[in-house]
Structure 1
Amino acid sequence: MPVVMLAVVAVSVIWYQQKGAEGDLVLLAVQQEVQNDPDGSLVMYIERMEEQAERQPDNPNVWSTLFPLYRETGQMSEAVDALERLIEIEGRIPPLLAQLAQIRFFMAERELTDEVQALVDETLEQDPRQPTVLGLLGINAFDNGDYQQAIDHWRRAIANIEDPNTVSSLRDGIRVAQERMGIEPEEAVAQGNGIRVRVALDSELAGRVDDNDSVFITARDSEGELPPLAVVRAQVSELPMTVTLDDSAAMSPQAQISQVREARLVVRVFSLRPSNAPAWGSVWRP
């Protein structure tokens, strides 16, 4: 029994060293060591991480740390090498391909080269909503004077971004593009009347619902790619009624009705009667 226990411990230690988080713990120790060093600097941190890259060439966390460090310090060729190494380990997944397309795009002085276009196409084939690539395409369209296309790309990107700073930057770009087009900036549109619609119950549904059943009036983008842009809840007893769908009725700051030029309105009545399926209202296209 003692021999078996020792063997289990030995095998466990070997497995942990090969498959466990020992390498990541070393990376954490390196980070803390540089932070606590009075002479610690970004250059020192990069040098220590490069040492770990030689010792742990197959650890994706090494390269995912080095890539942004190289990028922020202007070492673009090294950043590309680190990112390509990370892609070799993690696979050709959309977020990494998008980062590679973006950095090559800026290295090419904001030109959509054949290499960048190939990366963009590969990314969008896997994830048509990838925000980094959509942001890149928006910049390219803006530089070429196609402001409406730039706005469309940036609005789609905003719908899939959680970082408020990035969203704010893209909104600034949209506002500038709108000014170049000579139209009212997006902020003014958001404060306007929104979409005003009158909702009434179809006579064919009258016998299938009760006065206290819920009515949901929802605005969605025409392509169906975004979360609901605005939702208003009422009761059947309040119909017919006129409602205004604007940004105040948005479910998420990343998906608002001011981000789209056209919206699809859907009205649903959810009956409380157990035997009834949800009753659907009419679909409106403003």
Structure 2
Amino acid sequence: MMIFWLLIAAMVAVAMAMLLPVLLGRGQLGGNPRKAINVAIYKERFAELEAEVKSGALNEEQLELTQRELERNLLEDVKGEDDDRTAAGPARSARTALAIALILPVIAVGLYFALGDTGLVSRSPATLAQAPGGLPTGVDSVEDMVEALRARLQRQPDNAERWLLLARSYLVLERYDESVLAYARAHQLLGDDSQLLADYAEALAFANGNRLNGEAARLAARALELQGDNRKALWLMGIVAVQRGDRAQAKAYWTRLLQLAPADSQEVRLLQQYIAQIDNADVQASEGERASAPASAPKMKSAAAPAASLSVRVALDPALAQRATPDDTVFIFAQAAQGPKMPLAIVRKQVKGLPVTVTLDDSMAMIPAMKLSRFKQVVVGARISRSGQATPQSGDLEGRTGVIELGSADTVEITINKVRP
């Protein structure tokens, strides 16, 4: 802290060393600007008089009289200014310099305490690194930030960038209906932008129970039409094709996306997995068709992967019971052991229902491409959220398992026994 104040003093001293010579009359950047202006005006007026003589508006005698009057006025103006500067300049400059030397440091420190963050001075890098979410001072949560953004948009309803930020924030908070409305407003202001339409389609799909059809499908298709290499649009259109049962088209979209994805990324590995599943489904379908060649053959077997489910029992550690209320929300979910942390299945309960046993299955997937039956190993968790939002927050109560092989246990036991830092 002492080093900080020494640095402040040094910077003020440097600033004063630069200002004082000018204020005291040394190192001036030029002469008297008012004197220069008067001379320029005189020259301009004299040129006008000469022009009047040439035009016949004035004779030589009138020109001489007017010129002498101008010269006398100019001399009086210049002499008066020089006398004023000689008499008052040094004393006034000294007084001004002294006042600024005293006031400048006070103003600088005052502004720092009013606008700066004095806490940063005494915080270590480790403490700063642990600052939650980097939210601005006075903003206690993402919800507070969103409300502040909404208030600004009431004053500036045509700010498209803020509508986009609001829409994305709602999406993160899983407030899908509000996200859709914000995207709709941004679309009104910006028109058909490829990335905007892809994001808008995604929000509509979430708001529509993870179904990419109707307007959501149309927006995704339009986004891809505007920009053929839009990665989100390619991903969404692949999901649209899967939901329509068009595996060949889904493979075509995701193969294009695979070519655009960063090499050796998790995105590449997942896309390769999805494309391989489509190929396997096509092989199974082809084999089924050959086996059912006779006219009286039974209906072809579904090529879909077998449904997966997981029984989970959740209880709350009695030691944490006082930190939750009966109406707090409990999220019970399964995630892939490796890969994206988007829940493969999720269900919502309340604390007053604990202990509770639920079954997680493919019907609870957020998107068809990310569901239990597509993964062999998962991690199961449960979290109590006082805000009711699925986004984890500091202070939430949680518990989770290690890696579980699907089908290896009848019922998974979870105890909520930790407080999220």
TM-score (norm 2): 0.32
Higher relative contact order by CA 8 Å / sep ≥ 6: 1 or 2? 1
TM-score (norm 1): 0.45
